[in-house]
Structure 1
Amino acid sequence: MRKFLLRPATSLRRRLVVGVTVLATLAVLTSQAIGSVVLRSWLLDRVDQQLAAFHPPAPVYADALRDDLPGPRTRPSVLPSDFRVYFYDSTGERLNHSMGAGRKSAPLLADSSDDLGMDYGRPETISAEDGDGSWRVVRYAGPDGMNAVVALPLDTVDDTLSRLLWLDAAVLGVAVAALIAVGRWVVRLGLLPLTRMERTAEDITAGDLDLRLTDTDARTEIGRLGRVLNTMLDRLQRALQEREASEARMRRFVADAGHELRTPLTAIQGYAELALRPERRSAGERQEADRVVAQNAERMSLLVDDLQLLASLDKEPSYRHEPVDLLSLAADAVSTAALQDTTHPVDLGPVRPPEGSAGTSELELVETMGDPHRLRQIVENLLSNARIHTPPGTAVHVRVGTARSGAAGGSGRPGRTSASPSLSEDTAVSIVEVSDEGPGLTAHDAAHVFERFYRADPSRSRARGGSGLGLAIASTIAEGHGGRLELDTAPGEGCTFRLVLPGEMIKPSAAPEQGARPSPGRSGGWGP
């Protein structure tokens, strides 16, 4: 039975039905067996009470001796009941005379009282002479050394138990049939949530990944299983979505990198073929060709450097770990920008405190821990973007200050975008803002501005902007320092890029780079 219940090929529903039926059958059989034993004991106690209440009187022994002799009998030897009385004389020999008669056979008694093996007054069960049935007998001592054995047949007890066994068998058969029928219905009803789970899982396997299990009651085992499976499905779906998004980004990255490299390579190849022609060219033409070749080679070199920098930042970024004065860093970047481009006025001021947060309206010393060269690269990149993507004469504002994270370092403000996760709520942060008064960006462009090779210019013109990797590099560096790069913009309202860094002396996520040389900050267009 155990092997049958544990066979792998048997369904759970069948095993439950069979198991419940077997257990119930064993319970019914046990109760019937106990009932039969108790009933037999009770009936035997009744017979024993009857035997104990029947004591042959002393004259009966004398009558038995006299009636045992040849001649006429003066008293009947038949009792008006099922009792039988057998006598043994003083020598222990069994007398031929007995009291009681009937159609039932007599008990199987020994011919000598010495061979009876019975204690006085203790009932015992013996078989009948013909082997059909049994008798309950008790031995009594009589006068003058005589003995008497009183017997009662157990036919009534045996018949009662036999009828009870037949009734128990019929009840057991009906109970087993009812258990199988009702058990299948109860088990099917109990396993209905599992059946729904099975159907939902089949639909999910067929491709409907948005389906979820409906039985999630935490008070039941199946409900808890459903909640765990839903959590697992959510994680698997997110993992698949992230994998698909990663593959899409990789394909787009490879395609964009190929597109960016194709143009300078085509220009270099064209002028190289032109140089190989046998026709004579003027010195001006040769100089122009050499200039274009050098310009495209430099452009390719910058693009490859950016790609290598992004790869190193993604894999094993190396940052210095030292105190950085963000106010001095911003001031140096503003001075450099003012010398490089006089068409865009640049000023330096304090960060305007957001509503509901503490702040100051004066410039203050703002320090953080990190790599000063990488952080300056971010600020110079943002200033270069502001100059390139706004009309001449557009003012650019650089602001430095401190605040509490939330409005300044979160994504709760409408129109704010970032490629990095939000900082913990209500913690001290250091902020460097680069804001312009240009045309701003649409919500679609703002949502993709930190992606690699993305440009807000649909024509992908290189007259304004670089390869589209600058903001991606800046965002990666900011995230490596435990901060993030944010953008607040709207059409006609300009752009405000905000570098948010931990205000406490928190070590960046990368190990310090010993003797590292800072790479020059380059503009990368509105996109990363």
Structure 2
Amino acid sequence: MNGRTVLRSARPMSLRARLTWGGAVLAAAAVLAVQIIGVLVLRSWLLDQVDHQLREFPLPTDFRPALPPPPKGLPDGSLTMPSDFRLTVYDPAGRRQGTAGDGPAPGPLLPQDAADLTLVDGRPTTVAAVSGDGNWRVERNTGPDGTTYVVCLPLDTLDGATAKLLWLNAVVLAVTIIALIAVSRWVVRLGLMPLSRMEHTARDITAGDPDLRIHYTDHRTEIGRLGTVLNTMLDRLQQALREREASENRLRRFVSDAGHELRTPLTTIQGFAQLTLMRDHLPPADQHEADRLIAQNAERMSLLVNDLLLLAKLDQEPTYRQEPVDLLAIAAEAISAASPGLHERAPRLGPLAGADDLEPVETLGDPHRLRQVADNLLTNALAHTPRDAAIEVRVGTTVSGADTGGTDRPGRTSALPPMPEGVAVCVLEVTDHGPGLTAAEAAKVFERFYRVDRSRSRDHGGSGLGLAIATTIAQGHAGRLELDTRPGRGSTFRLVLPLVRGIPSQIP
């Protein structure tokens, strides 16, 4: 097993442990650095005091009469000094004469000949003791007559103070580390408490309670901002799950409705096809009726399949043509296509409420798809209203609002979100003066395969997909298809599209 495998298999430390030990190590390093600096500063100061005492030791100079030289053959320690000072004397010839001063500590290790001294006049130096591990601070000075004096002071007091300070620092460091670890654990546990609560909340959410949210969302802290982000993420995930569930339910309902709609004409075709197999035993009139019903149901099934294919194509985010479109021309063409045979019930074309005259209303879009929406709205109005009910088609430009369209208000329904209020829009609306729709019917009118009157819709070959297709086309043009209706007061289906100004006109 190599080192990388060992590192990979090692148990990782928790965030709490990393913060605790990291803070304790950093704090201990800071305390240790302060202690080391303190010891060095104190030792340097004490050493300076010793050096100052060495310099202040009275010796013969050029400015004072020379002291008589010490007797020859002076044994070491034969003269007693009034302090810890020791004075070693070398005669002008460089021979060591003796040492003045006495004490229990071994003296400094000095040579017998002044020529072997490695000291510089006036510069204190540390030398070892004759025996043991003690040290002395010595300073060389030369008298007027060539006599060499080496003034010495023991460093036992300085070394002892330094040693005691080191032991004291070691105890303080140990106590500090222990206290830091204990305090760090408490502080880290307190600081990470919101994170621990987030962990418990996340665990409860995964256990089956998706409505729970994180309560700590203080924007002044990192954990609070994390809580806000997590709550936003949870809301979006929950919304996405709901939309997915709703989409799956719509898909299942769509497939079920499509199968139901296709089953009826298929059953009819199958029944009459079997009947035509007995053509030899049927009267000519029955044979003709069977053939007519087969053709009618085949056409109805073909229309339904075409609508399904179109709706599936539109749901796949199609690319719409973007070219100048005149809604007034589209409305006029839709009326012309639906008017033959209607006579006095032909729809009337006029301006929006509050406008004086009809004017071209240009926007950007796909003219074929927008014409499909106009045809659908007009066909529905003609198919689902009494023969004496008047139908009006209005076209114009306005601004979005509760009275003009594009936004929500009581009595108005749409499958698309409202547009911003007060923006310039162009409108094509189809109004009938029929019985209108109830609130329940209006809430479902844009759903796929929904019919207000199923029997009459089938008589007219409708599949219940027309308004769903029109809504999808309006959404693809960044617009909105909506319904204003009240029972007994008729209905108004309104196509609202953004008004694009400055369109280069390509309409003859």
* Normalised TM-score (structure 2): 0.86
For residues 326-381 of structure 1, give each alpha carbon's deviation from its aligned partner in whole angstroms, at most 9, with x where no partner exists. Answer: 4454345445545445696744433214xxxxxx1444443445455543432332
Q: Against the structure 1 CA distance between its residues 327 and 113, is the aligned structure 2 distance closer, same or farther, given a 3 Å change threshold?
A: closer
2:458 aligned counterpart, secondary structure: coil
Instruction: Identify the residue that residue 183 of structure 2 maps to in structure 1.
Output: 182
Residue 279 of structure 1: CA displacement? 8.2
Which range moved further: 44-53 or 166-175? Answer: 44-53
* 1:406 and 2:409 matched: no
Please state whether the residue corresponding to 2:149 is helix, strand or coil: strand
**Residues 411 and 417 in structure 1, CA contact (< 8 A), matched pair in contact too:** no
Q: SS state of the match for residue 71, structure 2?
A: helix
Give the aligned residue type for 1:377: Q
* Distance in 1 between residues matched to 2:349 and 2:224, nearest whole Å: 60
Distance 1:195 1:237 in 2: 23
Secondary structure class of the residue paired with 1:132: coil
Q: Structure 2 vs 1, CA of residues 202 and 343 (structure 1 numbering), >3 Å: closer, same or farther?
A: farther
Equivalences for residues 225-374 of structure 1 within 5 A:
225-276=226-277, 280-315=281-316, 317=318, 324-334=325-335, 337-341=338-342, 346-353=347-354, 360-374=355-369
Partner of 2:374: 379
Distance 1:183 1:133, change over 3 A: same
CA distance in 2, matches of 1:225, 1:28: 34
Contact 1:139 1:147 in 2 (8 A): yes
* Residue matched to 1:166: 167
1:219 counterpart = 2:207 = no
Helix, strand or coil for the counterpart of 1:131? coil
2:84 matched residue in structure 1: 82
1:357 matched to which residue of 2?
Answer: none
For 1:160 and 1:379, the matched residues in 2 are separated by 103
> Relative to structure 2, which stretch is displaced further, 135-144 or 372-381?
372-381
* Partner in structure 1 of residue 3 of structure 2: none
Q: Any residues of structure 2 matched to 1:380-395 within 5 Å, and which?
A: 380-395=375-390
Tell me if the contact between 2:407 and 2:419 (Cα under 8 Å) persists in the aligned partners.
no
CA contact (8 A) 2:334 2:374 kept: yes
Q: How does 1:379-528 map to 2 (within 5 A)?
A: 379-407=374-402, 408-457=404-453, 462-463=458-459, 466-504=462-500
Looking at structure 1, the residues matched to 194 and 282 of structure 2 have their Cα atoms a distance apart, in angstroms, of 85
Q: Secondary structure at the match of 2:140?
A: strand
Per-residue displacement from partner, 1:444-477 (whole Å, max 9, x unpaired)? 4323322221223588973577210011122223
Aligned partner letter, 1:103: P
Determine the structure 1 residue equivalent to 2:153: 152
Equivalent residue number for residue 111 of structure 2: 110
Taking the TM superposition and a 5 Å limit, the aligned residue runs for 1:117-136 are 117-136=118-137
How many residue pairs match? The answer is 492
Deviation at 1:264, TM superposition (A): 0.7
The whole-number CA distance in structure 2 between the counterparts of 1:372 and 1:115 is: 114
How far apart, in 1, do the equivalents of 2:59 and 2:190 lie? 68
Q: Separation in 1 of the partners of 2:142 and 2:129? A: 23
The code of the aligned residue for 1:439 comes to P
Q: Choose which of 46, 50, 57 in structure 1 pairs with 2:53.
A: 50
1:67, distance to aligned residue in structure 2 (A):
6.8
Most deviating of 188-197 and 112-121: 188-197
SS in 2 for 1:126: strand
**Structure 1: gaps (5+ residues):** 70-74, 354-359, 513-528
Identity of aligned residues (%): 60
Q: CA deviation at 1:299?
A: 0.8
Deviation (angstroms), 1:11 = 1.2
2 CA distance for matches of 1:324 and 1:63?
A: 127
Cα 1:56–1:166 change in 2 (3 A) is: same
- Given that residues 338 and 346 in structure 1 are in contact (C-alpha distance below 8 angstroms), is that contact kept between their aligned partners in structure 2? yes
**In 2: Cα distance, 1:240 partner to 1:53 partner:** 91
| One-letter amino acid of the counterpart of residue 263, structure 1 | T
C-alpha separation in 2, matches of 1:349 and 1:32: 95
- Cα displacement (A) at 1:420: 3.3
Q: Contact 1:138–1:150 (CA<8 Å) still a contact in 2?
A: yes
Normalised by the length of structure 1, the TM-score is 0.83
**Cα gap change, 1:203/1:492 in structure 2, threshold over 3 Å: closer, same or farther?**
farther
One-letter amino acid matched to 1:466: G
Q: What amino acid sits opposite 1:53 in the alignment?
A: E
CA–CA distance in structure 1, aligned partners of residues 479 and 183 of structure 2? 65
Asked if structure 2 preserves the Cα contact closer than 8 Å seen for 1:61 and 1:87, the reply is: no
Residues 268, 294 of structure 2: 8 Å contact kept: yes
Q: CA deviation at 1:284?
A: 2.7
CA distance in 2, matches of 1:209, 1:32: 55
By how many angstroms is 1:238 displaced? 3.1
